[in-house]
Amino acid sequence: MPLFVLLFAVTFALTLWGRRKYQTVYDEELKNLAASGITGAELARRILDVSEIGGVEIVKGHGLFSDFYDPLRKRLVLTPQHFNGSTFTALGIAAHEAGHVLQHRAGHVPLHWRVAAIRATIWLSLPLVFAGVFTMVLPVFGKSGVYLALAGWSLVAAWNLVTLPVELDASERAREVLERNHAFRNLDERIGIARVMRAAGAAHIDGVFSVLSWLGTLVFGLLPTKQG
């Protein structure tokens, strides 16, 4: 088996696993509401305030990868359902993104690697998909073209997987702030929001593989369907 095909198979399997884990936790905690009624935007702001971090804008975003912290613009972007929502899911995602702000303030260098990986994924997703289709349709490229497309997909996805520890670190930093400030009203909130924070890192690992993940869902039934 060519090395590129093996790399593709491994990264594709890990991507599907990460996406499934994230989606399962996301759907389960979407049913639970915080007793205080606090929104994701409010929780993120509270984490920054108690950490004495100013100058960061928290805005409502739209589109692909809308939950994102941009260290260059000092802007924390949340999708409307996470910005305004009070579900454990919304709060967990917002807290996780606030964790990236904590990393930035602490000078956590790998954060910039992670941001670069996500941006590369966004910008390269469609070109790589089109390149793959192009090489498969035109026989002149043969197997070498297919292998090249698989290698491109796999390398970008692998880089996202390698930088996942940055996501775990962000969640842990935010969780510690919440614990110190007694932000949780009850044990259910503490456990549920923490689950989402731990799973949130998988939200960005499948940019290039979003189409392939969708096909995997249809063909293999590997991913759970949304509930509720």
**Residue 35 CB coordination number (10 Å):** 12
Q: Is residue 224 part of a domain?
A: no
Q: Is residue 223 part of a domain?
A: no
Q: Is residue 228 part of a domain?
A: no
Residue in the structure block whose two tokens are 């994230």: 22
- The dihedral region occupied by 87, where left means phi > 0, alpha psi between -120 and 50, and beta the remainder, is beta
Q: Is residue 225 part of a domain?
A: no
- The dihedral region occupied by 85, where left means phi > 0, alpha psi between -120 and 50, and beta the remainder, is beta
* CA atoms of 162 and 100, how far apart (whole Å): 17
Indicate the SS3 state at residue 69. Answer: strand
Residue in the structure block whose two tokens are 């949304």: 226
> Which pLDDT belongs to residue 3?
66
Residues 66-88: tens digit of each pLDDT = 788 989 899 999 999 999 999 99
Residues 193/88, Cβ–Cβ less than 8 Å: yes
Q: Is residue 227 part of a domain?
A: no
Give the range of the structural domain holding residue 7, as residue numbers without chain letter: 3-218
> Which pLDDT belongs to residue 123?
66
Q: Is residue 149 part of a domain?
A: yes
* CA atoms of 204 and 213, how far apart (whole Å): 13
Domain count of the chain?
1
> Which pLDDT belongs to residue 14?
76
Give me the count of residues in the chain. 228
pLDDT tens, residue order, the chain (228 aa): 566 667 677 777 777 787 788 889 999 999 999 999 999 999 999 999 999 999 999 999 875 457 889 898 999 999 999 999 999 999 999 999 999 999 999 999 888 887 777 666 666 665 665 666 666 566 555 566 666 666 666 666 667 677 788 888 999 999 999 999 999 989 999 999 999 999 887 776 655 445 444 444 444 444 444 333
